[in-house]
Amino acid sequence: MAELKLADYKTTVHNDWCPGCGDFGILNAIQMALSEMQIPRHKAVIFSGIGCSGKTPHFINVSGIHTLHGRVLPFAQGAKIANPDLEIIAVGGDGDGLGIGAGHFVGAGRKNVDIPYLIFNNAVYGLTKGQASPTLRLGEKTKSLVTPNTSNSVNPIALALVSGFTFIARSYSYDVKHLKDTIKRAITHKGLAFVDVLQPCPTYDDIHTREWYQGINKQETGKSMPRIYKIEETGYDGTIKDESEINEKMTKILEFSSEWGDRIPIGIFYQNELIPSYHERIAENNKEYFAKPPSHQEISDNENKPIAKIDKILDKLQIKD
């Protein structure tokens, strides 16, 4: 088969995100990851929630399922459990995944279905004109808020960890290479992978701007001091190779997760493939699951008659004299 180029993963659908939106970087990174991995276009399916991030699938030239607000994870898990051969990527916003969809975030962690999930995290509800999202910190006042935020923020990394995600990473939408590499790792990870993508909203978030992340306004030295740093560069490796490492690593991840402000860590905090995926758990009771998942099953013969044979079930219920 001819090699697929980056352009092959782009649609001609008009992109109506605001100029300068961090989402463009994420879109490019997903397309680059798909192209570098040469994932056949028909095999990949992008599932999304609702909001600006929800439009992502329409711009990627693979099948796309734009679902409901907060529900991207159960939709995507259903498809992946029914057909594990698909390369499913779930994307959504911070309000989508950590507000209205928070229950599914926790539920998905418990299942560990083999999909990557990217949250486009910009601390505001953009498409409804800038309300506070679950990742906006208490007391912060972005420009369309009437009063400073009265709710505290959720910690996505810590929540993912305690919910049971087996791959937890953070990246930044303006570092497309880092993001693309992180997405590739998330796709190849066996199990549920969470990537928290920091993504400035140039229209509604006047606090966490691109300049803020770059540290342009930091006063101490008079010159830019980027807030973001890469944990890999500090020698950290989040891979769990043995169960005995888990406790120590979890403590470290919680430390990373609470770092914010002057120093914001990005990179792969955690990867644990020792935990069986949901698919492997199904296969324990259903030996042929991987060979014949739900989507691959024959249900009728050439004459459209059902091929299920229920004699054994009926015999048990039959009245015997």
Partner 1 sequence: MTGVNSISWLIGGPQGSGVDSAANIFAKTCAKEGFHIFGKREFYSNIKGEHSYFTIRISDKPVNSHLEEINVLVSFDAETVFRHADKVSAGGMIIYDSSLAETVLEEVPTIDFEASNRIRKLLQDSGQSMNLNGMLEFAKSRGCMVYGLPYFEMLETIAQKMNDPKLSKISRVVNVMAISASISLLGIKKNMLINSIQEVFGSKPKLLASNIEAAEYAYSYIGTKYDTKNIKYKMTPKDALKDYLLLSGSQAAAIGKIVAGCRFQTYYPITPASDESEFLESNQIIDQVDGKSGSIVVVQTEDEIAAITMAIGASLTGVRTATATSGPGFSLMAEALGWAGMNEVPLVVTMYQRAGPSTGLPTRHEQSDLLFAINAGHGEFPKIVLASGDIEESFYDAIKAFNFAEIFQLPVIHLLDKAISSSIQTCKRFSNDLKIERGEFKNTIGRNQSEGAAGHFQRFKLDDSPISTRVPIGTENAIFWNTGDEHTEEGHISEDPENRNKMMDKRMKKLDLALEKINQDDMAICHDFDSDGKNVVVSWGSTKGAILEALEKLSEEGNKMKFVQIRLLHPFPTETVKKFLKDAKLVIDVEMNYTSQLGSLVQQNTGREIDYKIVKYNGRPMSTTELYIALKAILSGNNERRIVLDGGT
Sign of CA dihedral 285, 290, 294, 298: negative
Q: Which of 171, 133, 201, 135 lies closest to 26 in space, CA to CA?
A: 171
31, 35, 77, 133: which one contacts partner 1 (CB under 8 A)?
A: 77
- 48 or 203: whose CB is closer to partner 1? 48
Q: Is 83 in the site for partner 1 (CB under 8 A)?
A: yes
- 88 or 197: whose CB is closer to partner 1? 88
Q: Give the whole-angstrom CA distance, residue 158 versus residue 265.
A: 13
33, 81, 89, 168: which one contacts partner 1 (CB under 8 A)?
A: 81
Which residue stretch of 31-39, 150-158, 196-204, 279-287 sits at the interface with partner 1 (rule: CB under 8 A)?
279-287
- 110 or 143: whose CB is closer to partner 1? 110
What is the DSSP code (8-state) at residue 208? Answer: S
Count of Cβ atoms closer than 10 Å to residue 183 Cβ: 26
Q: What does 42-110 look like in DSSP terms, one character per residue?
A: GGEEEEE-SSTGGGHHHHBSSEEEE--TT-HHHHHHHHHHH-TTSEEEEEEEHHIIIIITHHHHHHHHH
Q: Is 223 in the site for partner 1 (CB under 8 A)?
A: no
- 71 or 249: whose CB is closer to partner 1? 71
What is the DSSP code (8-state) at residue 125? Answer: E
What are the tokens at 285?
């009771």
Output the smallest distance, CB 243 to partner 1, in A: 26
Q: Is 110 in the site for partner 1 (CB under 8 A)?
A: yes
63, 131, 144, 214: which one contacts partner 1 (CB under 8 A)?
A: 63
Q: Is 300 in the site for partner 1 (CB under 8 A)?
A: yes
Output the smallest distance, CB 204 to partner 1, in A: 21
- 68 or 145: whose CB is closer to partner 1? 68
Output the smallest distance, CB 82 to partner 1, in A: 4
- 7 or 146: whose CB is closer to partner 1? 7
Q: Is 3 in the site for partner 1 (CB under 8 A)?
A: no
Q: Is 293 in the site for partner 1 (CB under 8 A)?
A: yes
The footprint of partner 1 on residues 21-60 (CB under 8 A) is 40-43, 45, 47, 50, 55, 57-58
Q: Which of 75, 74, 87 lies closest to 43 in space, CA to CA?
A: 87
Which residue stretch of 120-128, 177-185, 264-272, 285-293 sits at the interface with partner 1 (rule: CB under 8 A)?
285-293
Angle (nearest 5°) at CA 201 between 200 and 204: 135
What are the tokens at 111?
């299942």
Which residue bears the tokens 């701007």?
A: 209
Q: Give the whole-angstrom CA distance, residue 83 versus residue 94.
A: 27
Size of the site for partner 1 (CB under 8 A): 70
Q: Is 297 in the site for partner 1 (CB under 8 A)?
A: yes
> Bridge-partner residues for 10, per DSSP?
60
What is the DSSP code (8-state) at residue 229? Answer: E
- 251 or 304: whose CB is closer to partner 1? 304
- 14 or 223: whose CB is closer to partner 1? 14
Per the CB < 8 A criterion, the answer to whether 18 and 51 are in contact is no
Q: Is 97 in the site for partner 1 (CB under 8 A)?
A: no
- Distances, alpha carbon 317 to alpha carbons 49, 94, 261, 306, 310, in Å: 45, 51, 66, 20, 11
Binding positions for partner 1, rule: CB under 8 A: 11-13, 40-43, 45, 47, 50, 55, 57-58, 61-68, 71, 73-83, 85-86, 103-104, 106-107, 110, 282, 285-286, 288-289, 292-295, 297-301, 304-314, 317-321
